[in-house]
Structure 1
Amino acid sequence: LICYLSEHGFDHAISPKLLSNPTSKDFQHILIFLLRQIDPSYSFQTRLEDDVRAVYKQLGYPFPISKSSLHAVGSPHTWPALLGALAWLLELLTYDEAASNKQLESEELDAEAQGNRIFFDYLERTYDSFLGGDDNFEELDQELVESFEVKNQLVREEIESFEVENAKLEEQVAKIRVSESPLVALRAREKDLEANLDKFRKLIEELENYRTKTAARVQEKKEEVLSREKDLKQNAADIEKLKVAIAQQESDA
């Protein structure tokens, strides 16, 4: 409250100490300042206790304000309730200021903010009528009801749209649950490939062993052939020697 008053040019002294035990004049200055944020020309028309109660009732304040509390503003028994009333009015002003500064359009607000915006507009219009001396708000009340009916219809249509979309999603989920999951199929395929890979590895190992054994046998055969060739050469040499010896004997005879 102190921050709001200070930031908006409150032209009277204000401090936590003053707010802990204000006088009727202090309360009146603060209240008039806040109400003039709604209506710059506002001033009390009759007695303080009558105007305050009438204004708060018109604004829709949900709690009663007694005349006795307005006669003893700073009393420990009455001031907390009156301070709460000021805080409630401050919340309305803060919301309206934030909405105006951001230039929010009703259709851009969420559901709760739209409702607040509609109701605050209603309060402003009824308050203007009240200041103009008109205390019959049936037409404004009807407009408020119609505004909420339109809003509620839009919400119902949006809910129906969500329900249709939700039904489609549930149907898709059901189909996915019934059909085999692509992930399950991929995992099964992965297991098959791993099994085939193990088979290929074993086959390669067997072929490698066979190649090693075959190479060893080939080497043995080569060595055997070389040995036989050596024997054949030796036999051929021996035969040649015998032929020479026989020829020599025949010549000597």
Structure 2
Amino acid sequence: MNDPSSILRRNNGHRLSVAGATRSSFRSSQFETGSAKRKSLLSTPASTKRRQSSLPPGSTPSSSQQLHSSQQQQAPVTASPSVIDPRPLRDKNYISLLQQEVYDFLSANKFEIESGGHPLTQRTLRQPTQRDFVVVFQFLYHKIDPFHRFTKTIDNEVFILLRTLNYPYLETINRTQIASVNSSNWPAILGMLYWLVKLNLSLADLTIDGTDPILVDDQLDQIFIDYIRQSYRAFINNEDDYSPFLSNMKEKFDEMTKGIIEDIGNLEIENQQLQTQLDTLTKELSILEQSELKSKALESDLVKFKAYIETMESRKLKWSDVLDKIREEVTNCEKELIELESDKQRCQLELEVQGHTPKDIDGLYTERDKLTRLIDVTNSRIEELENQLRIKEIECQRGFESLDNFIKQYNAMVYRMGTASASSQVDKDGNNSNSNSYELTLLVNLPTSKPLLPADIINKTISSQKVQLLQYKSQINTTIHKHQDDSIKLQEQLDLMSEQITEKREEIETLEAKLSANKTTYDEIYETMTNDTTTYSMQIEKLERELRSIKINTNQGLIEVENRSQAIQIEYDELIHQIQAERSTLHDRVQRLIEFTIGFKINMQQNLEDLESLAIQESN
């Protein structure tokens, strides 16, 4: 039953193998229109798996004897998460042998022609690009299933096809590596391509009783070759009538066409029956799956609720004290709420008596907010103007002080020249006149409504003062002798004044000593006050901390209840997460069970087909 010949079907007196369709992929000729209706090699997954599991070792190049575990690749098995690729894919010599094997296979099967002119060199398999990998994979897979069309993204397509072919080391590669082939992940990809090459070679070497499988195309070619051979013999024998050969060829073609049509009808009927059975089994399986999921979920929920009830019963004893505290706090809060409600009603009555309404108060609050914002804007503007005015005042003050110092220096010089009493000097006519007064005075009340002039700042003009100084110079020359006489008297007066100044200085020193003593006393008193202030501040902070601790202790009961509520919520979330994880695990187990059931069903159907074929053979 496991022999490859058991999967053959009878068609018009010839034995036809579905696996023989693989041989047609190695031919460069075009398919006939009728052969386009042939089913894909992978359209029946179970039969494909059966053929793969029963493949004999294929003929490989001489270097294949050096490839470790190549025999295992010819009989693919279902990969499991624990499968580890035993091939030394990191060995450079082994990688070179794989590259040579793949290169020889691609070259022998006209890769460049069938791939639309894609270049093939040793560098293509040594440093491949993503495009090189995609073209090579599509070429190798089309050798297995020439009717497949690549419509999805390359990573999804490759992963699904390798899983369909039961690539034994599927867990060693991932979608990211397939979507981005580079030098780091190329050894694993090259191992996968070599496995496809070995699979192609094994399918190409399938035989039936030591002979090559006969295809529909092979029969058509044989009939046509017979016609050509007979016509050529007639041509050699100088016979011009080829109509008997042509009519014979047409009759054989008609017979084959009828057989193919009958086979197609039988296959369609069989396909409909299998589809009906598949739909029935799918419905039954879905009902069973839902029932199992509900049963397991209910059992799990029951166990968890029992554990939860036990936990809550153990915690119930502790809740009584907490509930008492909460009731006391609730009672206090209700009393405070009643008091606040009474205060609120009293305030509302007072406002009604005064003739105010809540809307009026809200309007006043709104107006006050607007006025506050306007005041803030005005204050900010005033502050800016004050800053500018302050800067200008400082500049003016500096100029004023500079001018004042200059005038003081000038007046001092005038005083030193003996003109300090110029305002009280008597002129030559004996009249007391201020015309010879050379002292300058800085005006305080300055006009602000017009630009300032020199005459507005100083009480005299500089030009007139200069003329008076020149006149006074001539007077000095006449009065200098008189002043010399007066200087002696003034010197005596100066000595007397010096003695008085010395006495005043001694008094000043005495006062300064008293001031220093008073300052020391002040510093001591100030330091004592500072220490007392610090002590009081520390006491205030201590009292504030005690107040905060009292508030914390007051709210501790509520915080404990909130913490317990959060803990219960966390446990609930964990239970939800565990339920979801168990559901996912059960879903995967059911999916594997479905796959196993479908595979078992299809294998049973295939065995029945084999038994039917064997019965037909024995009856013939």
TM-score by length of 2: 0.18
Higher relative contact order (CA 8 A, sep 6+): 2
TM-score by length of 1: 0.41
Larger Rg: 2
